[in-house]
Chain A
């Protein structure tokens, strides 16, 4: 079925189909649009190729590039299986692996796009396990503390990997855990006021400054409080509308999420105990918005029972 190209450049590990086709087109001195037309694909723009290729397109591309259809399917984004429209791969890369990018640049003059760079649940390169960096990393404000403080981030990395895998499974498959990782991430990125029992409740404006950069995640990650005093790493709530955060914030939140989900009931109790009245009310409102089965898992004594 379809045309077989006499030569195809080798794909890079984890490369997107559009990126590979663009490099192949360059090999024949034609545009991506011309190549897709030559291969009789119904899609021609990179975003369409990676997000909207049909089964027919996949089979034609596989025949032309001398690979299997399964290999082509691995090179495009998964079809959306969950009703969370916003929880899917991004249209632009949200992170890059600087080492892989340098390696690509040595082999080809064409830009290379790696699938994991579009997946916000990834925190490190699957090829060289280097923590991802934000794209366009020349800006000092977009530096990656995961690389600058490798010792501390190295400690939380195993938990962060677990958390990233839990989120990936939730987003890409029909697996529905008792408590949604999305809801937990939202809780963990909420502001944490001064601990109810140990610190006095400071008056305005000291109160605002004191609690502005602290989040609930620090209850589940030792040493995070000190880092948050130096850098405002988790600035805004993790929501379905905005699932993308700098890779640093994601690493922290995923590690805290994995620790939280290890024993959700105890973790919720600990969260509530650590909060003073105004913050506790916000968390109770968060709990009220959860499905009934999730509330039972987190707080069996809840009025729902």
Chain B
């Protein structure tokens, strides 16, 4: 069989030469597919990164329900701007730094986490001042321009005083190093960031709502299907798309895993395409409670 790969994106078309087992393995791997909404978000982040350093750096607060792809977006942007080694000055240049807020973030834990992320050794009994000095010194050396913080709503796990200290710290880092902050979290993150009016005013809000049966959703499904290495062209009706939304609650992660499962079934059964029938017949192996935030 020599299938016509015109229905696929080039990377997926190249995989048609692989065995069924290899194609299934690739589909099970975590991978990035650029869809219009993600592309727009990445463009906004790129614009932010390209801005010159000023005394009051702008930033973004990205709010979305769990499973809407915030972490993947952050990871994608970080990978698109990897660290490079300046051999003349023997230092790493890292324009984008990404980390996840700890479950119970305090000033000390935050600095410790920051230093661990950038690979700086520090004694466990170091004072907050020592940690701060090392963090500022190394972030300045690394020429960090954009600090991305995932799970920002975890700030709410601390006491009111701890929340205040941490928000002050974020503002201080942004001012001192002239870096942009990108905070990602669920709806509660808005409440956490709102604790510091000055910080909240600097961060433009970017919402990633759940998918609905509109043109944008069709573009997402088209992007997913074009990147699944199936030999035949998939035909999906508007009715089936509504069914997909119903099955996945409009969550990005759910939509991706549904189409991955359907594609694996298509390879295993030999159908080599996703159809309305396969969507109708699909039953999840386990039912996880949808995360509503």
Contact = CB atoms under 8 A, between A and B. Distances in A.
Give the size range of A's interface with the partner.
Answer: 10 to 19
A46 B92 CA distance: 26
A6 B117 CA distance: 10
B118 interface: yes
Contact of A6 (B119, B122, B123, B126): B119
B64 interface: no
Given A3-B119, A6-B118, A29 B130 contact: yes
Interface stretch (B134-142, B161-169, B191-199, B220-228): B134-142
B134 A28 contact: yes
A227 interface: no
B120 interface: yes
A34 B119 CA distance: 13
A13 interface: no
Interface residues of B, number: 18
A244 interface: no
Which secondary structure dominates where chain B touches chain A?
loop
A7 to B, nearest CB: 4
A29 B87 CA distance: 23
Contacts of B122: 28-30
A35 interface: yes
A5 B91 CA distance: 8
A8 B121 contact: no
Interface string B259-275: 00000000000000000
B135 to A, nearest CB: 11
Nearest to A7: B91
B287 interface: no
B123 A8 contact: no
Interface in A10-59: 10, 25, 28-31, 34-35, 38-39
B123 to A, nearest CB: 6
Given A29-B130, A29-B134, A66-B85, A7 B141 contact: yes
Interface in B108-129: 118-123, 126
A35 B87 CA distance: 21
Contacts of B94: 6
A278 B251 CA distance: 100
A4 B130 contact: no
Nearest to A11: B90
Nearest to B116: A3
B40 to A, nearest CB: 32
Interface of A: 3-10, 25, 28-31, 34-35, 38-39, 66
22 contacts: A4-B92, A5-B120, A6-B119, A6-B120, A6-B141, A6-B142, A7-B91, A7-B92, A7-B142, A8-B91, A9-B90, A28-B121, A28-B122, A29-B123, A29-B126, A29-B134, A31-B123, A35-B121, A38-B121, A39-B121, A66-B87, A66-B90
